[in-house]
Amino acid sequence: MTCTADRDQAARPAEKSSPHRRASRAAALLGLVLAVLLSVAGCGGDSPSTGPTLSATRGADGVQVFAVTGLPSMKFSATQLVAKAGKIRVDFSVAQGSPPHNFVVPRIPAAHTSIVSAGESQSVTFTVTQPGDYPVVCTLHPNMTATLKII
């Protein structure tokens, strides 16, 4: 949601300064520049592929394990977590020097840590049966998002 707002704000000044009567080449160039700027700006929540992707590792008991860290920069250490349907464990830790974070998958009630302080960790285990993209969020920092991708 904030992405849309950010993009609108970024686009508006450029549109204002764009001369109406310039050659179409200039307009095309401006469009190209805007496209590049927008793609670089990205958006963690809407474009998971722009951030680090983490594949689950298989535990001895068949559980799929992710080690995810909440960072001082208000981000998860991975923006896309890829696993197969089944039992999943997230070992969530918060980096030293970071504000507290949690790891919450709103569509999966069991996938919900409590608030974890810097230097501490908490694991949650849950089962997902339906493939799809499940949004992940830190409820303390609504822009701190990731996607759990069940394949």
Query: Where along the sequence are the contacts to Cu ion (CB under 5 A)?
Result: 101, 138, 140-141, 144
Give whole-number Cα distances, 36 to 4, 11, 32, 39, in Å.
16, 12, 6, 5
Smaller CB distance to Cu ion: residue 103 or 134?
A: 103
CB of 122 to Cu ion, least distance (A): 13
CB of 75 to Cu ion, least distance (A): 9
Other CB atoms within 10 Å distance of the CB of residue 83: 24
Smaller CB distance to Cu ion: residue 106 or 131?
A: 106
Smaller CB distance to Cu ion: residue 138 or 150?
A: 138
Report the residue closest to Cu ion, judged by CB: 138
Smaller CB distance to Cu ion: residue 64 or 144?
A: 144
CB of 137 to Cu ion, least distance (A): 9
- For the chain, what is the largest distance between any 2 Cα atoms, rounded to a whole number of angstroms? 67
Label residues 89-104 b or e (16+ Cβ within 10 Å = b): bbbbbbeeebbebbbb
CB of 42 to Cu ion, least distance (A): 19
Strands in 64-70's sheet, in edge-to-edge order, are 57-58, 64-70, 86-94, 121-128
CB of 121 to Cu ion, least distance (A): 14
Smaller CB distance to Cu ion: residue 128 or 138?
A: 138
Distance CA 149, CA 30 (A): 35
